[in-house]
Amino acid sequence: MVPAKKPQKDDSLEIMRHSASHVLAEAVLSMFPDARFGIGPATQDGFYYDFDLPRPLTPDDLPVIEAKMKELVAADLPFTRKELSKKDARSLFAKQPYKLELIEEIADEKVGVYRQGSFVDLCRGPHVASTGELKAFKLVSIAGAYWRGDEHNPMLQRVYGVGFATEQALADYLKNLEEAARRDHRKLGKELDLFSIHEEAGPGLVHWHPKGATIRRVIEDFWKDEHFKRGYDLVYTPHIGKLDLWKTSGHWNFYRENMYDPIDVEGQEYVIKPMNCIGHILIYKTSQRSYRELPLRYAELGTVYRYERSGVLHGLSRVRGFTQDDAHIFCRFDQLEDEVAGVLDLALFMVDTFGFSNYSIYLSTRPEKYAGDTKVWEEATDTLARALERQTLAYEIDPGEGVFYGPKIDIKFEDAVGRGWQGPTIQVDFNLPQRFDVNYVGEDGQEHMVAMVHRTVLGSMERFLASLIEHYGGAFPVWLAPVQAVVIPIADRHLEYARKLEAELRSEGVRGVVDARSETVNMKIRKAQLEKVPYMLVVGDREVADATVSVRLRSGEQVNAQPFADFKQKLKGIIASRSLELKL
Amino acid sequence: MVPAKKPQKDDSLEIMRHSASHVLAEAVLSMFPDARFGIGPATQDGFYYDFDLPRPLTPDDLPVIEAKMKELVAADLPFTRKELSKKDARSLFAKQPYKLELIEEIADEKVGVYRQGSFVDLCRGPHVASTGELKAFKLVSIAGAYWRGDEHNPMLQRVYGVGFATEQALADYLKNLEEAARRDHRKLGKELDLFSIHEEAGPGLVHWHPKGATIRRVIEDFWKDEHFKRGYDLVYTPHIGKLDLWKTSGHWNFYRENMYDPIDVEGQEYVIKPMNCIGHILIYKTSQRSYRELPLRYAELGTVYRYERSGVLHGLSRVRGFTQDDAHIFCRFDQLEDEVAGVLDLALFMVDTFGFSNYSIYLSTRPEKYAGDTKVWEEATDTLARALERQTLAYEIDPGEGVFYGPKIDIKFEDAVGRGWQGPTIQVDFNLPQRFDVNYVGEDGQEHMVAMVHRTVLGSMERFLASLIEHYGGAFPVWLAPVQAVVIPIADRHLEYARKLEAELRSEGVRGVVDARSETVNMKIRKAQLEKVPYMLVVGDREVADATVSVRLRSGEQVNAQPFADFKQKLKGIIASRSLELKL
């Protein structure tokens, strides 16, 4: 429901990166005089260029191309701009079919071209004055990319680079990139046995393994309890429903490309739900509601399915099936500010609980195409702003970026390596209440349309787990750790005691397990470290005799033997407090 | 996965009921000389007959028909049997097209007919000697029924009756029926606002309202905690997957009529899962398993979708989408007995916790068509029997009623009005491990096939809720009650105190709510009674002054004022103990 936020841009960096893409193209041209060129824009961290080349590039080509780029930078070649008639442009790019295609799509009669050294490109610019201004860049990867992203077009070779204003910024970035690769949730998800995605079952469909499912259950319980405390009601709605409902809602018209094809059942068409809203509306409408009953807040961990091209799927963060931590609030318009303020409070409490301390808030206003009345839009947008201000939250306006059905607030949080994640979203909806006639009887005895709010605070269980894995680098805080304590008997004669501790932990809901393998203590500690288990309880003769445990923390810290009962009490306290720190 | 158990029959009762259907037909014939007759068998509690009549029957017709039946019984008409050639039978039933159709399907050259009084019927019998033997019967309802259950055939009128050996048994039955109607989960589900099913969303697709969802969540949490304690691991698997998996499993061949049509995604066919087993197998197979890791027990509250004709859907007990409390156990064959014994223990613990004290256990053996080796079947069946005997459980053998892939144990429990419900099921599967090559490396270093067990202990959340609603008559025990305590302020000045109590209850997870309406205390008590809330806390001046509550139980019992803190402690204890008794 929430389009990803556009990155915020630094213009000078963007110009530098875009210019670097031209230098990349010039370097490639020098190696492949018959190269045909696609496009070469700046990206969030650098740039890329798409090439049609006589042979596939390999990673070994990158240093060669990069060295050539450095030569061109050292030569400090000026960028010069020219305007050409389309006719002249066509003859200039006569051997460049992709450029010719682009020329035809330009509305103006004149087209701009930029030249530096031996390379000339169809380009709106702007660019740096000369190649010497390019300070710090590096080519990082090669990927296949269909021309214009369309799988029916030829596959081009895309070379990615990163570029920064200083060598230091580049070095920091590359170090961060390495750290991010270490934390990649797909890699850690496999190493820590959290989840799997199976080609034979279908891409983008996540299977949660016991350890991942344990984390999910802990989060879900926390989420449900917190929602209960804040006056939400849990509901469950089916995953399929008649297509007619989605025609009424407008989704079949506006959102069809993300929905799966209908299934025929006894002559009626059914679809798999891409959203949970309609089920909640049907529950709302099972009785005539009075103004006294409102607000009603229906919460559901609702699993939805949306079509995404297989090419864009990515681990847990871009999938085809996901469980939204969804809720819909039905309220009166005079309650909207309180409700939005309440959601903001809940959302930031949740984000904070998981340790995401950096976040940005965006208020998106009316887009060009919209449903509903301009005045209602303005009032609702003001209401959202007032709710933000009441919570003394700084926010940016994202003009025209609201959904067609209403204004919204998005919260983006950063993980420990500075990457942004789409977080909570709060959307006002003027469309569905009208289409489904969702109303209440006011104090005046008349029917009034409800104000409807869609909101998620985690987004989806899948994407949120991805962010958590990367944020914690797989070392989950104790309350979330799939295994909270491993009991390590030193010798076989300590196994009985170890089992007793395990049973005592589990009987109180603590996730303890014994490592009963015939291995050395060191090997067992090593395994627990790899699995990032927070506490290792080593038990030998002394511990058995004194009913104690010697505790080793995941951090490497050793804690002297202490009564097991004390340890258990402390551990339970740490879990209950949802502490993010590893301590004892 | 589990076919419903056949009712156990009392032959003499069945003969009596079948004879009553003939008397019913004779009575109808006396009113409608042109009546055409379908079939008239005995049922579990009585009998019916299907008629094609010149006008629709109304409930007012039933006493008239019944009076006529009583006359025929008083006349004590003998039943006489005759064998006819098909040719003679055809001429005897020349004006009875349904009978003619049945005659054509009889393989023998001779057909049997029974006559009593003016009515003669195509019938194998047996029957009572004469109508005077019919003791106690009553016509109860009229329904439409397609000839032979096929919607392409004419719709006939079916008259249902019940019949028993004594007037007392009939009276008891009718009383029970009335009680059952009062407890009907569809009726109570609406009255108590627990769930809804929407024609516009699709029949058989359940929407769980806040109160129903609360009950479900409590059961799910209990279920998950209990499974955690017993060494199960939670998993989550997607609701759709590639059709090829279901071809490999054999479901697409054997179970297709219950599966929804495939959906095309990028040229691949996907289906909505009718079962959870395949996802669990995929998770099992993500690594090479060793004998030391087994058993692995994967548990999932997995929502599945199965096609059922809309005509057979019934409230929550026969639906198209349902959440199984599913688990699959992967173990070595030498662990099978322990595992089955463990499931039996868990299953009976669960059934018992909800207060179902009457149940029957069935062990179903190898059917005519089966997969796997006869010897393996025998060993597995013996293993199931040994597990039952180890738990000292009485059971019946249901010969040949195993699933094609393995023997199974079914537990059927009875609700408070004596109706049977399909409960836990434990099925050994020789088919899937072979088809998906589900194996482990044994102590000998060789690959061995696992023993796989499918099991549910509640069946599905939907059907189980239906049984609970009817068992409790909607008056849920405290731990399950959607609202556990209503706080009733006597006057507006007590509202603040009431809100404080509500907040204190909710902060500890107790489902308390204030009835803040401007109504009298009596009206508020009446509402709470209708909603079957276990505790009503009436608070006025004295309670505010003393920090106490006056408690009224759903049973009508009044408890004198007591400190609120004491009440809260007791209530928490009652909830934690999952007590079935209403007490304080």
Question: Who among B278, B292, B321 is closest to A238 (CB)?
Answer: B321
The CB density around residue B115, as the number of other CB atoms within 10 Å, is 17
Q: How far apart are CA B217 and CA B572, in angstroms?
A: 17
Residues B103 and B122: beta-carbon distance below 8 Å: yes
Q: What pLDDT is stored for residue A6 in this prediction?
A: 42
Find the closest chain A residue to B264 by CA distance. Answer: A261
Find the closest chain A residue to B263 by CA distance. Answer: A261
Q: How far apart are CA B551 and CA B537, in angstroms?
A: 5
Find the closest chain B residue to A323 by CA distance. Answer: B238
- For the stretch B420-434, pLDDT in tens is 999 999 999 989 999
CB contact under 8 A, B202 and A282: no
Q: How far apart are CA B187 and CA B204, in angstroms?
A: 16
Reference B541, options B493, B504, B581, B496; nearest CA is B493
Q: How far apart are the first and last CA of chain B?
A: 42
Give rounded-to-5 percent helix, strand, coil for chain A: 40, 30, 35
B402, containing H or E segment: none
Q: At what angle do helices B167-183 and B461-472 cross, to 10 degrees?
A: 120
- What is the set of active-site residues of A? 277, 306, 324, 326, 328, 408, 454
Give the ipTM.
Answer: 0.86
Reference A304, options A429, A454, A421; nearest CA is A454
Question: For the structural domain made of B202-237+276-472, what CATH number should be given?
Answer: 3.30.930.10
- Tell me the C-alpha to C-alpha distance, in Å, between residue A371 and each of A5, A249, A333, A377: 22, 12, 17, 9
Q: At what angle do helices B210-229 and B336-353 cross, to 10 degrees?
A: 140
The residue with tokens 């031996």 is A118
- Who contacts B418 (Cβ-Cβ below 8 Å, separation ≥6)? B176
Q: What pLDDT is stored for residue B2 in this prediction?
A: 32
Write out residues in chain A with pLDDT < 70, as ranges.
1-10
Residue B135 vs residue B576, higher pLDDT: B576
Flag the least confident range among A3-12, B6-15, B68-77, B494-503.
A3-12
Find the closest chain B residue to A322 by CA distance. Answer: B238
Contacts of A237 in chain B (CB under 8 A): 207-208
Q: What pLDDT is stored for residue B371 in this prediction?
A: 83
Q: What pLDDT is stored for residue B369 in this prediction?
A: 86
Q: How far apart are CA A360 and CA A208, in angstroms?
A: 30
Q: What pLDDT is stored for residue B254 in this prediction?
A: 87
**pLDDT-based confidence at residue B457 (cuts at 50, 70, 90):** very high
Reference A402, options A421, A419, A381, A388; nearest CA is A381
Query: What is chain B's mean pLDDT, rounded?
Result: 94
CB contact under 8 A, B265 and A240: no
Contacts of A213 in chain B (CB under 8 A): 233-236
Joined tokens for residue A426: 């709060």
- Who contacts B402 (Cβ-Cβ below 8 Å, separation ≥6)? B364, B365, B366, B367, B370, B377, B381, B408
Contacts of A207 in chain B (CB under 8 A): 235-238, 279, 282-283
Residues A50 and A37: beta-carbon distance below 8 Å: yes
Mean pLDDT value of segment B246-254: 93
Q: How far apart are CA B311 and CA A102, in angstroms?
A: 59
Q: How far apart are CA A178 and CA A269, in angstroms?
A: 49
Q: What pLDDT is stored for residue A10 in this prediction?
A: 64
The CA angle A471-A472-A473, to the nearest 5 degrees, is 95
Beta strand spans in B147-260 (E): 155-164, 195-197, 206-208, 233-234, 240-242
Contacts of A264 in chain B (CB under 8 A): 261
CB contact under 8 A, B305 and A202: no
Q: What pLDDT is stored for residue B414 in this prediction?
A: 94
Using only the alpha carbons of chain A, give its radius of gyration.
29
Q: What pLDDT is stored for residue B1 in this prediction?
A: 32
- The size of the A-B interface in CB pairs under 8 A is 164
Contacts of B208 in chain A (CB under 8 A): 235-237
Instruction: Output the CA torsion sign for A60, A63, A66, A67.
Output: negative
Question: For the structural domain made of B2-183, what CATH number should be given?
Answer: 3.30.980.10
- For the stretch B200-219, pLDDT in tens is 999 999 999 999 999 999 99
Q: Is B68 helix (H, G, I), strand (E, B) or coil?
A: helix
CB contact under 8 A, B202 and A240: yes
Domain boundaries of chain A, sorted by first residue: 2-183, 202-237+276-472, 485-577
Q: How far apart are CA A430 and CA A405, in angstroms?
A: 5
- What is the set of active-site residues of B? 277, 306, 324, 326, 328, 408, 454
CB contact under 8 A, A244 and B205: no
**pLDDT-based confidence at residue B177 (cuts at 50, 70, 90):** confident
- For the stretch B16-58, pLDDT in tens is 999 999 999 999 999 999 999 999 999 989 999 999 999 999 9
The residue with tokens 């009712």 is B7
CB contact under 8 A, A238 and B205: yes
Q: What pLDDT is stored for residue B361 in this prediction?
A: 97
The CA-based dihedral angle spanning residues A155, A3, A476, A473, taken in that order and rounded to the nearest 10 degrees: 40
Contacts of A282 in chain B (CB under 8 A): 196, 198, 200-201, 207
- Who contacts A551 (Cβ-Cβ below 8 Å, separation ≥6)? A535, A536, A537, A538, A558, A559, A562, A567, A584
Residues B466 and B185: beta-carbon distance below 8 Å: yes
Instruction: Output the CA torsion sign for B269, B274, B276, B278.
Output: negative
CA distance A191 to chain B (A): 11
Contacts of A283 in chain B (CB under 8 A): 196, 207, 209
pLDDT at B151 over 90: no
The CB density around residue B158, as the number of other CB atoms within 10 Å, is 19
Joined tokens for residue B105: 């399907």
pLDDT at B4 over 60: no
Q: What pLDDT is stored for residue A1 in this prediction?
A: 33
The count of residues in chain A is 584
Written in H, E and C, the secondary structure of A524-556 is HHHHHHHCCCCEEEEECHHHHHHCEEEEEECCC
CA distance A387 to chain B (A): 24
Read off the amino acid at residue B9: K
Give me the phi and psi of A103, to 5 degrees please: -55, -40
CB contact under 8 A, A307 and B265: yes
Mean pLDDT value of segment B281-289: 97
- For the stretch B487-543, pLDDT in tens is 999 999 999 999 999 999 999 999 999 999 989 999 999 999 999 999 999 999 999
| Strand A359-364 relative to strand A396-398, pairing | parallel
CB contact under 8 A, A202 and B283: no
The pTM for the full model equals 0.86
| Strand A206-208 relative to strand A233-234, pairing | unpaired
Question: Who among B225, B235, B321 is closest to A213 (CB)?
Answer: B235
CB contact under 8 A, A238 and B213: no
Residues A515 and A467: beta-carbon distance below 8 Å: no
- Who contacts A145 (Cβ-Cβ below 8 Å, separation ≥6)? A38, A50, A155, A156, A157, A158
Contacts of A327 in chain B (CB under 8 A): none
Q: What pLDDT is stored for residue A3 in this prediction?
A: 32
Q: Which of the listed CATH numbers 3.40.50.800, 3.40.50.10170, 3.10.310.40, 3.40.630.10 matches domain A485-577?
A: 3.40.50.800
Question: Who among B210, B228, B278 is closest to A233 (CB)?
Answer: B210
Q: Is A291 helix (H, G, I), strand (E, B) or coil?
A: coil
B398, containing H or E segment: strand B396-398
Reference B318, options B263, B362, B258; nearest CA is B258
Q: How far apart are the first and last CA of chain A?
A: 42
Cross-strand pairs, A120: A115
Question: Who among A200, A217, A263 is closest to B260 (CB)?
Answer: A263
